[in-house]
Amino acid sequence: MTGFERHVTFSAWAFLAPALLLIGVFFFLPVLAALLLSFTDFDIYALGDLDRLRFIGLDNYRQLLQSSLFWTALGNTFYFVIVGGPLSVAVSLGAALLVNARLIRFPGLFRTAFFLPVVTTLVAVAVVWRYLYHPRYGLLNYGLSLLGVEPIDWLGDPDWAMPAMILMAVWKNFGFNMIIFIAGLQNIPTQLYEAARIDGADAWAQFRHITLPLLGPTFLFVALMTMIGYFQVFAEPYVMTQGGPANRTLSIVLLMYEEGFRWWNMGYASAAAFVLFVLILAGTMLQLKLRRRESL
Amino acid sequence: MINFKGWVNCRYTIIMFSLFRLLLIVFIALWLTGCDSPADRPVIVEFWAMGQEGEQVKALLPEFERRHPGLRVRTQQIPWSAAHEKLLTAYAGDAMPDVFQLGNTWIPEFVALRAIEPLDERLKGWPVAALNDYFPGILATNRLEGQTWALPWYVDTRLFFYRRDLLAAVGFTEPPATWDDWLQAMARLKTLDGAERYAILLPINEWQLPVILALQHGATLLRDRDQYGDFQHPRFREAFIFYLSLFEQGLAPPVGHAQVANLYQEFANGYFATYVSGPWNIGEFRRRLPTALQGQWMTAPLPEFDSHSASHPPAGQEPRVGASLAGGASLTLSRTSPRQEAAWKLLEYLAEPEQQAQFYQLTGDLPARQSAWNDPALASNRYAQAFRQQLQHVQPTPPIPEWERIASRIAYYAELAVRQEINVDEALAALDRDVDRILEKRRWLLKREASR
CATH of the domain at B243: 3.40.190.10
Judged against a pLDDT cut of 70, whether residue B13 lies above it is answered with no
Lowest mean pLDDT among A161-175, A240-254, B63-77: A240-254
pLDDT digits (tens, 9 = 90+) for B117-139: 999 999 998 998 999 999 999 99
Residues B303, B421, single domain; the answer is: yes
Residues B178, B58, single domain; the answer is: no
CB contact under 8 A, B416 and A246: yes
Domain membership flag for residue B62: yes
Domain membership flag for residue A5: no
Domain membership flag for residue B11: no
Contact assessment for residue B259 and residue A155, using Cβ atoms and an 8 Å cutoff? yes
CATH number reported for the structural domain that contains residue A187 in this entry: 1.10.3720.10
Confidence of residue B327 (pLDDT cuts 50, 70, 90): very high
Cis omega (within 30 of 0) on the bond before A163?
Answer: no
In angstroms, the CA B62 to CA B72 distance is 9
Residue-averaged pLDDT of chain A:
91
On the CB side of A239, CA atoms within 13 Å amount to 17
Domain membership flag for residue A287: yes
* C-alpha distances out from residue B276 to B125, B160, B169, B325, Å: 40, 5, 20, 12
pLDDT at A183: 93
CB contact under 8 A, B259 and A134: yes
CB contact under 8 A, A45 and B91: no
CB contact under 8 A, A241 and B258: yes
In angstroms, the CA B272 to CA B81 distance is 28
pLDDT digits (tens, 9 = 90+) for A174-233: 999 999 999 999 999 999 999 999 999 898 999 999 999 999 889 999 999 999 999 999
* C-alpha distances out from residue A198 to A186, A188, A194, Å: 21, 17, 6
CB contact B293 to A (< 8 Å): no
pLDDT at B320: 82
CB contact under 8 A, A11 and B441: no
pLDDT at B33: 56
- Of the candidates B336, B222, B315, B328, which has an alpha carbon nearest to the alpha carbon of residue B279? B328
C-alpha R_g of chain A: 24
pLDDT digits (tens, 9 = 90+) for B305-326: 765 444 444 554 566 899 999 9
Judged by DSSP in three states, A157 sits in coil
pLDDT at A153: 86
Residues B257, B303, single domain; the answer is: yes
pLDDT digits (tens, 9 = 90+) for B328-361: 999 999 999 999 999 999 999 999 999 999 999 9
pLDDT digits (tens, 9 = 90+) for A46-89: 988 889 999 999 999 999 999 888 999 999 999 999 999 999 99
pLDDT digits (tens, 9 = 90+) for B226-267: 999 999 999 999 999 999 999 999 999 988 877 776 889 999
Residue A246's domain comprises: 75-295
Domain membership flag for residue A25: no
Domain membership flag for residue B21: no
Judged against a pLDDT cut of 60, whether residue B38 lies above it is answered with no
Domain membership flag for residue A17: no
- Of the candidates A180, A181, A211, A217, which has an alpha carbon nearest to the alpha carbon of residue A193? A211
Phi, psi of A214, deg, nearest 5: -75, -15
Residue B415's domain comprises: 159-324+399-449
Domain membership flag for residue B19: no
Residues B177, B140, single domain; the answer is: no
CB contact under 8 A, A44 and B109: yes
Domain membership flag for residue B394: no
Domain membership flag for residue B184: yes
Domain membership flag for residue A36: no
Query: Percent of chain B, pLDDT > 70?
Result: 87
Residues B431, B305, single domain; the answer is: yes
For A157, nearest residue in chain B (alpha carbons):
B255
Q: Write the residue in B261, B416, B441 that is nearest to A41 by C-beta.
A: B441
CB contact B446 to A (< 8 Å): no
For B434, nearest residue in chain A (alpha carbons):
A67
Residues B216, B267, single domain; the answer is: yes
Residues B167, B192, single domain; the answer is: yes
Cα–chain center distance at A130? 21
Judged against a pLDDT cut of 80, whether residue A295 lies above it is answered with no
Angle B403-418/B234-248 helices, nearest 10 degrees?
50
CB contact under 8 A, A44 and B401: yes
pLDDT at B159: 95
CB contact A141 to B (< 8 Å): no
CB contact B424 to A (< 8 Å): no
> Could you give the ipTM of this predicted complex?
0.78
| Residues in chain A closer than 8 A to B421 (CB atoms) | 158, 246
Q: What is the mean pLDDT of residues A90-110?
A: 89
pLDDT at B311: 44
- Of the candidates A117, A151, A155, A148, which has an alpha carbon nearest to the alpha carbon of residue A133? A155
Domain membership flag for residue A200: yes
Contact assessment for residue B255 and residue A134, using Cβ atoms and an 8 Å cutoff? no
- In chain B, how many domains are there? 2
pLDDT digits (tens, 9 = 90+) for A40-56: 999 989 988 889 999 99
Residues B166, B68, single domain; the answer is: no
Residues B265, B126, single domain; the answer is: no
Residues B299, B404, single domain; the answer is: yes
Residues B193, B331, single domain; the answer is: no
Domain membership flag for residue A32: no
pTM for the complete prediction?
0.83
CB contact B256 to A (< 8 Å): yes
- In chain A, how many domains are there? 1
CB contact B421 to A (< 8 Å): yes
Alpha helices of chain A — where are they, by DSSP H?
A: 3-23, 29-37, 44-48, 59-66, 68-79, 85-100, 107-119, 122-132, 139-146, 158-186, 190-198, 203-206, 212-214, 216-231, 235-240, 252-257, 266-295
Domain membership flag for residue A43: no
Residues B57, B132, single domain; the answer is: yes
Residue predicted with more confidence, A295 or A153: A153
DSSP type of residue A273: H
Domain membership flag for residue B109: yes
Judged against a pLDDT cut of 60, whether residue B37 lies above it is answered with no
* C-alpha distances out from residue B63 to A182, B60, B107, B154, B363, Å: 65, 6, 29, 20, 18
